[in-house]
Chain A
Amino acid sequence: MFKRTCLAGLRQSQRLSTLRHSNALSTLAIIEHQNGTVQPATLTAITAATKLGGSIHALLAGSGTKELADKVAKIAGVEKVLFVDNAAYDRGLPESWAPMLVENVRKGGYTHVLCAHSAFGKNMLPRAAALLDVMQVSDIVGIEGEDTFTRPIYAGNAIATIQTSDKIKLVTVRGTAYDPAETEGGSGTVEAASDPEAASSTTWKSEALSKSERPELSGAARIVSGGRGVKDKENFDKLIIPLADALGAAVGASRAAVDSGYADNSLQVGQTGKVVAPELYIAVGISGAIQHLAGMKDSKVIGAINKDGDAPIFQIADVGLVADLFNAVPELTKKVQA
């Protein structure tokens, strides 16, 4: 709901700012990719770039990016793709990424740099901002003009409109704030970017990513989340996961459920976890602390099952069921499958 209000306001203000600034404004959008595919959150940042107006260039770095650059050139709105084909950038280490970005921003004379507010963007962009001696505008949900943005503060309990006086605007974009850009239809040119080959003082050793056949949490159209009320990991696996599978939904969890070991860290929805905005969010055994609400309250429809009728989750749920989840969830799973 919030997303829509924002967008409506946006379209209007955008028209104005595009008219006023289209000559000088140029944006560099940072492309995140994994296994030869552009990350969905990146496409959202490109949509945000189109709202700013002006030219849009895309930057990607890592091994094999020369091939991927042709794909990126097809993203609607991208005029030019800059790529750095160098394995040194594969792990997104900010110690080498930030100087490379800074060099290309200076060289291209960009007024804006946009990146998804992802683990990578949050880690790298502020370092680049410091090297450029500019502030960063974090986690924007709206663009009011070329220098004016809206962003949630206090865990989403307030929305601030801020204007920056920095000449170069470094911005991270909330993944759920805009629709992703089309990956076909564009006809950008492809060019090698500068590679200062800054050595990283940090070495990447290993990763442990949770493997799942279910949809990825941040991009899922439906999410079923479990909280403390689920009581233990066995129940989580027995109740939450079948319901999610029946709905073709991603699995999420509250911080309480994650801290108690019912679910993996990477499934946490909330201020300190992922921020999601699916079509349908079903909260099971989740009371609805502000920490959690900050991560899911922009969902289109929220369903809640909780035995405590006074739980705060019911104040925002579109469909609330006061019931014992141990009876209600299996019944719901069965009825959804039917």
Chain B
Amino acid sequence: MSKLRILCATKRVLDYALKPRVNKANTGIDLTGQKQSMNPFCEIGIEEAIRIREKHKDRVEDVLAVSAGPPKSQDTLRTAMAMGADRGTLVEISENDTLEPLTVAKILKAVAEGEKSNIIFLGKQSIDDDCNQTGQMLAGLLGWSQATCASEVKIDGDKVTVTREVDGGTEVLETELPIVITTDLRLNQPRFASLPNIMKAKKKPLEKKKLADFGIEISQRFKTLKVVEPPVRKGGDKVENVDAMVAKLKELKVL
């Protein structure tokens, strides 16, 4: 029975509660001065790693949180460590660079190989670019099994059983370590970091790396030509009662 070395990928994104605003130049979302937090699906990944440790105490050797992004992404790693990750690795890029899922997958592959990870958690998607790609790409590059949109993970020896959410219900997959798992919302309810744990997290090791350390270059396949607000729906017409509602729906030819 192999020891478990868990890697959790985390991304810093615009806080989910904030309404994104398109910038004046129509080139992207205005993030200046806006609160940024850990992508909610990544939090679920960390939480699941911590729960695995609580359940398989002697087997888990290490829970490592990794983030790739500008220097500020270390805040996200500290949050992960406050939740219970042992240490963090920040793969730093400049504020002006953008990482695409394929590059992130290559970075994570390099980190996972260096760390001899055998379980990798990622969120199923980040709530900014909504791509839903990185985990699958990483599994493909590593040649590992993948289980995306997981709502339940069971580890029994080297056997891993994952329930995943699919169109119309759920399905259950069985595989062996190593595995890449991406988290769905229903996998768990992430814990809040307590104040003492936030203090302790400040002392946990955080290693900083550059893309060059892994021999990876920023490769940008996509060029964003423009970003616009979606067409505004003209709504807001209220009716007095059920009869008026039925009449209006008939008038709109949907009844």
Contact = CB atoms under 8 A, between A and B. Distances in A.
Interface of A: 1-2, 5, 91, 93-95, 98, 118-120, 122-131, 133-139, 148, 151-166, 201-210, 216, 218, 222, 247, 255, 259, 264-266, 271-272, 274, 279-280, 290, 297, 300-303, 305, 309, 314-323, 328, 331-332, 335-336
B149 A119 contact: yes
The 5 closest A-B pairs by CB, nearest first: A126-B136, A130-B140, A209-B169, A130-B137, A127-B140
A135 B222 contact: yes
B194 to A, nearest CB: 24
Interface stretch (B46-54, B69-77, B100-108, B209-217): B100-108
Contacts of A93: 173
B133 A136 contact: yes
23 contacts: A94-B139, A94-B146, A122-B132, A126-B135, A126-B140, A127-B136, A135-B100, A135-B133, A154-B29, A154-B128, A160-B224, A160-B226, A161-B225, A166-B221, A255-B185, A265-B151, A266-B165, A266-B167, A297-B233, A317-B235, A321-B239, A321-B245, A332-B242
Contacts of A321: 238-239, 241-242, 244-245
A301 B249 contact: yes
Contacts of A124: 136
Contact of A315 (B136, B224, B236): B236
Contacts of B161: 205
Interface in B158-189: 161, 165-176, 184-186
A2 B230 CA distance: 8
Contacts of B22: 158
Contacts of B139: 94, 127
A173 B246 CA distance: 35
A154 B136 contact: no
A138 B138 CA distance: 16
Contacts of B235: 302, 314-318, 320
Nearest to B170: A208
B225 to A, nearest CB: 4
B236 A1 contact: no
A157 B19 contact: yes
A262 to B, nearest CB: 14
B129 interface: yes
B173 A130 contact: no
Interface size range of chain B in the complex:
35 or more
Interface of B: 14, 19-20, 22, 29, 100-102, 105, 127-141, 144-149, 151, 161, 165-176, 184-186, 221-231, 233, 235-239, 241-246, 248-249, 252, 254-255
Contact of B168 (A91, A204, A209): A209
Nearest to B220: A165
Contact of A301 (B141, B148, B228, B252): B252
A2 to B, nearest CB: 5
Contacts of A210: 168-169
Contact of B254 (A122, A206, A300, A322): A300
Contacts of B223: 162-165
A319 B237 CA distance: 6
A118 B171 contact: no
Contacts of A129: 102, 133, 137, 140
A157 B20 contact: yes
Contact of B132 (A126, A134, A157, A163): A126
Contacts of A123: 136, 146, 148-149
Given A130-B141, A265-B170, A314 B231 contact: no
Given A280-B254, A301-B252, A159 B227 contact: yes
A152 B29 CA distance: 12
Contact of A290 (B19, B137, B176, B242): B19
B101 to A, nearest CB: 7
B231 A154 contact: no
A320 B225 CA distance: 37
B20 A154 contact: yes
Nearest to A338: B246
Contacts of A120: 166-167
Given A158-B20, A279-B254, A315-B236, 20 more contacts: A94-B140, A95-B146, A124-B136, A129-B137, A130-B137, A151-B130, A153-B129, A154-B14, A158-B228, A159-B227, A201-B175, A202-B145, A202-B175, A204-B172, A266-B167, A309-B238, A317-B237, A320-B235, A320-B238, A335-B242
